[in-house]
Structure formats: C-alpha cells, structure tokens
Amino acid sequence: MPHSVYLDYNATAPVKPQVIEVMAEVMADVGNPSSVHAQGRRARKRLSRAREQVAALVGAMPDAVIFTSGGTEANNQALLTAPGQLLTSAIEHPSVQVLTDDQDALPVNDDGVIDLDRLRDRVRSQSPDLLALMLANNETGVIQPVQQVAAIIDDTPGVNLHVDAIQAAGKIPIDMVDLAADSLSLSAHKIGGPQGVGALVLREGLEPRALLRGGAQERRFRAGTENLPGIVGFGEAADLALADADYHERVRKLRDRLEREMLGLSSDVGVVGAKAPRLPNTSCLILRGVSHETQLIHFDLAGIAVSAGSACSSGKVGPSPVLTAMGHSLEDATSAIRVSLGWNSTDGDVDHFLNAAHNLLSRRKQRRHDNVASVR
C-alpha cells in the first residue's frame, strides 16, 4: 500500500478535528433554531454564534451572512438576483460561468489577471447590472485586483460587484469593506469545515432573490431548516482559520520549495501564473509532453492525490478553459495539474510528490532514449 499524501486542498480540505468535535456535540443534541422552547433557543444561540464567526472571517457584520448549501448556491443566488446584464471574467468557476453568456466574459492576460482596460471600456459602453469576479482562481491561485476593479465600476452608478471568495477565504486576509464588494460567496469545506454548507455575505441594504421559499429562515432569503451541525462546523473552521497566523508563510514555503525543485527536474516543467500574486498554497504545474491523465494516474498509483483543475468539472479531463483563456496552447492546457496544499501539509508530503515526479520524468526520459535508439 503506497504512502497516502493528500495535495488537493482546493477541491476540498480535510475536516479539522476541532470542527468534527463541535459538530458531534450539535448532532448529539436536539433543537430547531426556529423553535421557541429551551432546545430551540439553544440551537438558535449556536446559529448566531456561527454567524458571528463566519462574518469575522471576511470583516462583515453578522446580519450580512446568509447560510447556504455551499459556494455554488451562494454564487447562483448572487447572480440570479441581478435584474439585467451580467459581466464576468473568462476564468470564473463553472457556478458563475453557467449563468452568463460567453460574450460577456472579460479576457485575462497571460498571467491570468483580468484586463482592466477592457473592463473599463465594457462597463462604460454597456453599464452592466452586476460584475462577478473571483478573488483567487481555484486552478492557478492567481489573485485578482478586486479593489482596482471596484474603483472602475464605482464610476458607473448601479453596477454591483459580486466577489467569489470561496478559494481565497482562510488563505489570505479578506475584508469585505476594503474589497468594496456588494456580495461575497464562501464555502466551509475549503477551510477545513464540512461539505454542504456555505454563505452569501451581503452589504447593508442589498436584498437577494430567494431561491428557496416557504419559511422565515435566514431573513427569508433562504427558506428551510438550517443545517445546524454544518453551520456550527463552518463557524469553528472560520475561527480556526483566523487564529492560524502562521498559515500563509508556512504553506508558502512548502509551495515554493515544491515549485523550485520541480523546475530543477526538467526544462519541460512550467508554473502557471508565477509572475502574478497568488494564493500561498496553490501550484498549477505544466509538464509538457505528458498528458494530465497520465500524470494523475501516476501520482494516484504513488498514493498522491492531485487534480487536473476544478473538482466541479467532475469526470472531465479535457483542456483547462482557464489555461486556454490565459493564452496557453492546447498541449499545455492538457498537460497541467494542480497541486494544492493546506493546513495539514508537511515537508514529507512535498518530498513524496517530488520523488514521484522524479520517477515519472525519469521513465519519460528513458522512453525518449529508447525511441531514439530504435530509430537508429
């Protein structure tokens, strides 16, 4: 049995032990937050506490937080609230892209950063109702200049800004006020919380369209009994993320060593978005001439979990739309994998990955040699 190494935190992070503990306490108890008896009041107190914790993660007020089933629902609710034209970038998550027209996707440069000049022209000429932009890309880790974007659209009245902060939360500091975001989406399972719970965070006065109706929960913006164990787990994970002051530097050192040594293994290795600001945990690696299917199989057999892009494109291993939007060739876009580290990653994990990568490259070099010899 190969050593097990998990390097796919951007798909989902392992749930932190403290989160499991508090969720177990909630599941062992009883009480609906909407009930007026003692058990209901106790549940409601837990719900309120979690709302405060999640709000603190992004510098928002507790009343701004609407709990959802995850980041996809939060993005959908934010975009479906817009009364008219939506504008996005060409590298957005599928939960955003599916709700917009391809022609409304703003281009990015070869570092994966949105083209601010094109954005300025489009906003002036079209006056969209909503611009949706991710704070950090889930495949490359490239961070977008959201404050500069907000300044551009601020000159056009009536344009709201939705920020998909799902991949960035817990990895870089986030302040909703500093970002000048009108709405912001989050997901618990990216920060060591449970799957199946997220949040839409709103600026004061913004009222989203309710996708689920029939109850007064979440200020009538999302009907249905709240997933209390998941929400409490989300709150605990948010608290832990805020308290982990060393996370950024600790994980960045691991990521930088992994990239440095990978680049030293072969001239065929490239790092996507290396010149742009990036999340400290994310590395999108291109191994030219080796398909990502081959790479994923090789690393999986070595007990190492990595991915070839967004986990929300389940079962799809075609060329990455994010990389093609950045101007990479079809060959590069089908030779890229994502390595994403997190709260439980170690130097040993990086060592195992590098050893497996060395073995893959050595076999490829030997095959090339054999092919040349056979031709001769």
Q: Can you give the pLDDT of all 376 residues of the chain as single tens digits?
A: 456 999 999 999 999 999 999 999 999 999 999 999 999 999 999 999 999 999 999 999 999 999 999 999 999 999 998 888 899 999 999 999 888 876 679 999 999 999 999 999 999 888 899 999 999 999 999 999 999 999 999 888 889 999 999 999 999 999 999 999 999 999 999 999 999 999 999 999 999 999 999 999 999 999 999 999 999 999 999 999 999 989 999 999 999 999 999 999 999 999 999 999 999 999 999 999 999 999 999 999 999 999 996 655 545 567 889 999 999 999 999 999 999 999 999 999 999 999 999 999 998 877 765 565 555 5
pLDDT at 314: 47
E strands within 107-250? 130-134, 160-164, 183-187, 198-202
pLDDT at 82: 85
The CATH superfamily holding the domain 5-13+246-375 is Aspartate Aminotransferase, domain 1 (3.90.1150.10)
Question: What's the CA gap between 300 and 259, in Å, rounded?
Answer: 19
Tokens 């300044």 found at: 151
Where, residue-wise, is CATH 3.40.640.10 in the chain? 17-243
User: The whole model's pTM is what?
Assistant: 0.93
Decide: 132 and 100 in contact? Cβ < 8 Å: yes
CATH top class, domain 17-243: alpha beta
Residues 6+ apart with CB under 8 A from 282: 10, 136, 140, 141, 167, 255, 338, 339, 340, 341
Where, residue-wise, is CATH 3.90.1150.10 in the chain? 5-13+246-375
Known catalytic residue: 284? Answer: no
pLDDT at 369: 55
Question: What's the CA gap between 131 and 182, in Å, rounded?
Answer: 10
Torsion of CA 262, 267, 271, 274, to 10 degrees: 110
Give the active site residue among 15, 223, 312, 361.
Answer: 312
